[in-house]
């Protein structure tokens, strides 16, 4: 596949193209074996280009059938084709180029470009998939008005969709012919086409200016009863974006299509979002509360892209976080408004600390605005998405809600219809607020997680607290000697009564009263708090105000106090997690004991009905093994597993009565609904059940009974997981068998069944994973199934993945090599756990590295896999 070593592309080499494409008219003739694509491109020479400049188009896996320039068929010498390009000579200032290509969607297993999923056709063009459809200027700064004709067998394809408005639709001699026209200019990555025999669920939305929009969700016939929730979430998103950002929808129709084979979560194609079916379909019997919340967030995310991504798009792919970071920030605020804001913040901080900090500390570390890449698909990362969102969130904290809104208004107004850079976004924030964000911009340029060290001294005589904060940022590949970043430290000083003390700090300019934020902008700074009449407890980085690591020794007593009394919910949780981490590390050294005062605090939390149950559930959840690993200097996964289990067992055993009482109290007879109050209660109820099962046989019996009587997937799945994790293998086997019997016809539920087993410490042994891979429910071509088995195994069943003889690593490496040919994007993503070899204890580290070297020796590596493996071995 690969002839030479793949080359890196650099941000610094960015240049505008020599031509623009004003208008793009596409005709698709869908035939059984292949599809014919005719593209008419109205090209206009860039003012900056030389007259006579050649037109250089990208193309991949295309059969070129004909080329016509301004009505004249082109002959050899007037054009050249390369491995992945087409060069055309002889264009005028304005020329029309017509290109006919043949493509083979049924053979397209990479799921980029036009492909078949089950009986339907669909597309995925971001980032560089359009070039698998036709030769094109496949780059986001080339924006064009698209008209799309689709011709297909009428019986097989009653539904034919593309972007924009339907302008023609007829059946002629057994052929279904439609034309769609999208009046908004867009880059090719937002193009979409869908063909199939689909059912539709319809609704309407009236925009803030009274415009009527048709909303349609298209699904395969068996899924029509799983569309209500997404439709509802869509309407809530549309209203929220009007109210929060003043953004109105801009077409008369908005469509969502669910497809089973999809590399990612969903795609924001203009007016025609395409979703992984797992991120849109739900009903109470088949979807858990967690799935409902994911659906709400992703529907919102894709909808919000209509402004942050589509109306204002990216100049080049180095600016990816311009749309993704901002849009994740927008969907996070939406989810926070719809549900518990604190719980959402905790979930996001958890992802940052486990996944993003790990990426920052590994071989693929890159800035939010990367300066180079080999394969752009590898840069759809937690750094671009989640850290990008955190950076936008810091701007929100620094500028305040109103200042941020002024900035976003200016950004949308100034750049509507343009392809811009991350700095255009920051510039709008600066201009609207008359602030200088030069220092802040370092967040976009520097990779790595800053570490903030805290020192505080209380002077009772002077009634002063001196707080010294210093920051450093570790080296990352290609970057050393980093500069200080602008770190917003939201904080409180807590008195003995649990109340926040009034803040009077010097220098006063470093404090923003409205957001309670202290601005750390230098490598080291000392702040003096005056009028402090008692030694306060410090609550720092409230609400996870910056994506940093904090080095700060606080006593167990202080942490227990914060866990109970901090007015900031996030820091209550954080104090609890820090305590639990200390117990786990004590357990690793064989000296852990659950103190009676801790037990009592937990008992009180469980009984406190004034608290949000979902919050209590977070407070009592142990950090995951991956989270613990991130807080360890050298990672010994088996020791972490054993220590965590010991702490979990101790909590379960000493609070059996409290967990069972909490469980009983939260039992409900109300009909299931995916609404926040119910979801919150279920999350604590099922956490209590999980502990109760570990603590006593009664708990196990109750879990089996809940499994049998559940009328919704949340309770059924929670009971199943509790039984599987209890180690009661006979009951587990029985329930898993029943579950498969009940749900074998529902692919999304079967995927959950695969993942519960593959990710379980009790079951997920290497030999068992091999059995799952051979199970009729498994399919190598379907990314959701690959993630359900191999993703769950390598990211969750850590005690088996890190088996002493390296068999877990070998299994994953074999899977990567197998997927390398058929689906490189998925192959490269699966590799992530193998990139962490440097952090492991020496024996495991060597075994893991050996598997990377084995992959590297393969002589036909895709760019995707090559980039990750080669960077991991440097």
Pick between residue 19 and residue 380 the one whose CB is nearest to ligand TRP.
380
Min dist. Cβ of residue 319 to Zn ion (A):
13
Per CB under 6 A, does 380 bind ligand TRP? Answer: yes
Instruction: Specify the stretch interacting with ligand TRP by CB under 6 A; choose among 38-46, 266-274, 403-411, 509-517.
Output: 266-274
Given candidates 138, 302, 390, 566, which one binds ligand TRP under the rule CB under 6 A?
302
Coil, helix or strand at residue 564? helix
Instruction: Specify the stretch interacting with Zn ion by CB under 5 A; choose among 80-88, 129-137, 326-334, 548-556.
Output: 326-334
Q: Which helix (H) or strand (E) holds 444?
A: helix 442-445
Instruction: Specify the stretch interacting with Zn ion by CB under 5 A; choose among 179-187, 317-325, 353-361, 806-814.
Output: 317-325
Min dist. Cβ of residue 443 to Zn ion (A):
19
CB 793 within 8 A of CB 769: yes
* β partners of residue 529: 465, 505
The catalytically annotated residue of 296, 302, 430, 851 is: 302
CB 831 within 8 A of CB 814: no
Min dist. Cβ of residue 128 to ligand TRP (A):
9
Exposure string over 638-665, b if 16+ CB within 10 A, otherwise e: ebbbebbbbbbebbbebbbebbbbbbeb
Given candidates 18, 25, 126, 566, which one binds ligand TRP under the rule CB under 6 A?
126
User: Binding mask 236-265 vs ligand TRP (x if CB under 6 A, - otherwise)?
Assistant: ---------------------------xx-
Q: Phi and psi at residue 768, in whole multiples of 5°?
A: -70, -40
Q: What single DSSP character describes residue 508? A: G
Given candidates 25, 260, 268, 612, which one binds ligand TRP under the rule CB under 6 A?
268
Min dist. Cβ of residue 124 to ligand TRP (A):
5
Number of residues that bind Zn ion (CB under 5 A): 2
Per CB under 6 A, does 124 bind ligand TRP? Answer: yes
Q: Determine how many CB atoms are found less than 10 A away from the CB of residue 497.
A: 7
Exposure string over 435-463, b if 16+ CB within 10 A, otherwise e: eebeebbbbbbbbbbbebebebebeeeee
Of 179-208, which residues contact ligand TRP (CB under 6 A)?
A: none
Per CB under 6 A, does 377 bind ligand TRP? Answer: yes
Per CB under 6 A, does 324 bind ligand TRP? Answer: yes
Pick between residue 328 and residue 748 the one whose CB is nearest to Zn ion.
328
Exposure string over 225-263, b if 16+ CB within 10 A, otherwise e: ebbebbbebbbbbbebbeebbebebbbebbbbbbbbbbb
Check whether the bond before 4 is cis (ω within 30° of 0).
no
Per CB under 6 A, does 266 bind ligand TRP? Answer: yes
Per CB under 6 A, does 127 bind ligand TRP? Answer: yes
Instruction: Specify the stretch interacting with ligand TRP by CB under 6 A; choose among 64-72, 124-132, 400-408, 503-511.
Output: 124-132
Pick between residue 787 and residue 839 the one whose CB is nearest to ligand TRP.
787
Min dist. Cβ of residue 13 to ligand TRP (A):
22
CB 249 within 8 A of CB 205: yes
Min dist. Cβ of residue 380 to ligand TRP (A):
5
Query: From CA 499, how far away is CA 378, in angstroms rounded?
Result: 47
Q: Determine how many CB atoms are found less than 10 A away from the CB of residue 334.
A: 24
Per CB under 6 A, does 293 bind ligand TRP? Answer: no
Query: From CA 821, how far away is CA 823, in angstroms rounded?
Result: 6
Pick between residue 391 and residue 628 the one whose CB is nearest to Zn ion.
391
Question: In the chain, how many H helices and how many E strands?
Answer: 29, 34
Min dist. Cβ of residue 331 to ligand TRP (A):
9
Instruction: Specify the stretch interacting with ligand TRP by CB under 6 A; choose among 15-23, 123-131, 533-541, 659-667.
Output: 123-131
Question: Known catalytic residue: 347?
Answer: no
Report residue 247 as tokens. Answer: 């953004």
Per CB under 6 A, does 310 bind ligand TRP? Answer: no
Three-state SS for 240-287 is HHHHHHCCCCCCCEEEEEEECCCCCCEECCCCEEEEEHHHCCCCCCCC
Residue 57 contact partner, candidates ligand TRP, Zn ion, none, CB within 5 to 8 A by sort of partner: none
Q: Which residues are marked as active site?
A: 302
User: Which parts of this chain interact with Zn ion (CB under 5 A)?
Assistant: 324, 327
């Amino acid at each position: 596949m690969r002839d030479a070593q793949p080359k890196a592309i650099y941000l610094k080499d960015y240049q505008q193209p020599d031509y623009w494409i004003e208008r793009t008219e596409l005709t698709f003739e869908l035939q059984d074996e292949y599809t014919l694509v005719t593209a008419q491109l109205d090209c206009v020479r860039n003012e900056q280009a030389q007259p006579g400049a050649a037109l250089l188009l990208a193309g991949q896996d295309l059969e070129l059938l004909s080329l016509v320039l301004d009505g004249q068929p082109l002959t050899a010498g007037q054009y050249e084709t390369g491995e992945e390009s087409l060069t055309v000579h002889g264009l005028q200032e304005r020329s029309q180029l017509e290109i006919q290509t043949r493509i083979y969607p049924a053979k397209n297993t990479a799921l980029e470009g036009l492909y078949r999923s089950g009986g339907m056709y669909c597309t995925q063009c971001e980032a560089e998939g359009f070039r698998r459809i036709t030769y094109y200027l496949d780059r986001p700064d080339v924006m064009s008005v698209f008209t799309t004709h689709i011709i297909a067998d009428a019986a097989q394809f009653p539904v034919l969709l593309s972007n924009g408005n339907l302008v023609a639709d007829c059946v002629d001699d057994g052929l279904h012919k439609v034309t769609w026209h999208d009046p908004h200019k867009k880059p090719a990555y937002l193009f979409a086409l869908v063909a199939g025999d689909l059912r539709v669920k319809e609704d309407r939305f009236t925009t803030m200016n009274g415009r009527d929009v048709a909303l349609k969700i298209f699904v395969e016939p068996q899924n029509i009863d799983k569309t209500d929730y997404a439709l509802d979430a869509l309407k809530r998103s549309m209203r929220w974006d009007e109210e929060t950002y003043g953004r109105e929808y801009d077409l008369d129709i908005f469509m969502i299509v669910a497809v089973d084979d999809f590399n990612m979560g969903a795609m924001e194609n203009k007016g025609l979002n395409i979703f992984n079916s797992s991120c849109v379909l739900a009903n109470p019997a088949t979807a858990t509360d967690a799935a409902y919340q994911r659906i709400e967030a992703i529907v919102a995310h894709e909808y919000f892209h209509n402004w942050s991504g589509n109306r204002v798009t990216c100049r080049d792919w180095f600016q990816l976080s311009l749309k993704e970071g901002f849009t994740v920030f927008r969907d996070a605020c939406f989810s926070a408004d719809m549900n518990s804001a604190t719980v959402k913040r905790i979930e996001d901080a958890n992802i940052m600390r486990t996944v993003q900090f790990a990426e920052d500390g590994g071989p693929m570390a890159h800035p939010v605005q990367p300066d180079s890449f080999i394969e752009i698909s590898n840069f759809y990362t937690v750094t671009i998405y989640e850290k990008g969102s955190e950076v936008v969130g810091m701007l929100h904290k620094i500028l305040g809600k109103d200042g941020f809104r002024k900035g976003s208004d200016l950004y949308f107004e100034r750049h509507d219809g343009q392809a811009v850079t991350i700095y255009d976004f920051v510039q709008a924030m600066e201009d609207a607020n008359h602030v200088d964000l030069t220092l802040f911009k370092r967040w976009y340029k520097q990779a790595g997680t800053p570490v903030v060290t805290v020192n505080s001294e209380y002077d009772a005589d002077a009634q002063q607290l001196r707080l010294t904060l210093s920051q450093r940022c570790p080296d990352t590949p290609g970057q050393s000697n980093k500069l200080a970043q602008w770190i917003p430290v939201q904080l409180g000083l807590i008195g003995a009564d649990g109340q926040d003390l009034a803040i009077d700090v010097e220098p006063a300019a470093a404090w923003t009263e409205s957001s309670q934020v202290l601005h750390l902008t230098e490598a080291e700074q000392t702040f003096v708090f005056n009028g402090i009449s008692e030694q306060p407890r410090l609550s720092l980085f409230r609400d996870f105000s910056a994506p940093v690591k904090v080095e700060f020794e606080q006593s167990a007593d202080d942490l227990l106090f914060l866990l109970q009394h901090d007015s900031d919910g996030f820091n209550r949780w954080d104090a609890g997690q820090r305590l639990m981490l200390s117990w786990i590390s004590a357990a690793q050294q064989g000296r852990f004991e659950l103190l009676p005062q801790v037990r009592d605090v937990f008992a009180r939390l469980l009984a406190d009905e004034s608290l949000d149950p979902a919050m209590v559930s977070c407070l009592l959840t142990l950090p995951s093994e991956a989270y613990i690993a991130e807080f360890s200097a050298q990672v010994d996964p088996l020791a972490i597993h054993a220590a965590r289990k010991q702490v979990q067992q101790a909590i379960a055993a000493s609070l059996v009565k409290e967990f069972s009482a909490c469980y009983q109290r939260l039992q409900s007879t109300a009909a299931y609904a995916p609404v926040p109050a119910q979801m919150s209660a279920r999350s604590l109820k099922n956490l209590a059940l999980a502990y109760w099962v570990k603590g006593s046989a009664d708990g196990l019996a109750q879990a089996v009974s809940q499994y049998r009587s559940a009328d919704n997937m949340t309770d059924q799945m929670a009971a199943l997981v509790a039984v599987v994790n209890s180690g009661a293998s006979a009951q587990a086997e029985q329930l898993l068998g029943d579950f498969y019997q009940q749900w074998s016809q529902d692919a999304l539920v079967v995927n959950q069944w695969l993942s519960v087993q593959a990710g379980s410490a009790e079951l997920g042994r290497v030999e068992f994973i091999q059995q799952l891979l051979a199970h009729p429910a498994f399919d190598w071509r379907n990314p959701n199934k690959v993630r359900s088995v191999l993703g769950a195994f390598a990211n969750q069943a850590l005690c088996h993945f890190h088996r002493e003889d390296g068999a877990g690593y070998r299994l994953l490496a074999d899977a990567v090599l197998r997927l390398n040919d058929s689906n490189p994007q998925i192959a490269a993503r699966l590799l992530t756990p193998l990139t962490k070899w440097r952090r492991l204890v020496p024996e495991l580290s060597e075994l893991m590295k050996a598997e990377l070297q084995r992959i590297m020796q393969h002589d036909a590596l895709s760019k995707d896999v090559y980039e990750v493996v080669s960077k991991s071995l440097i």
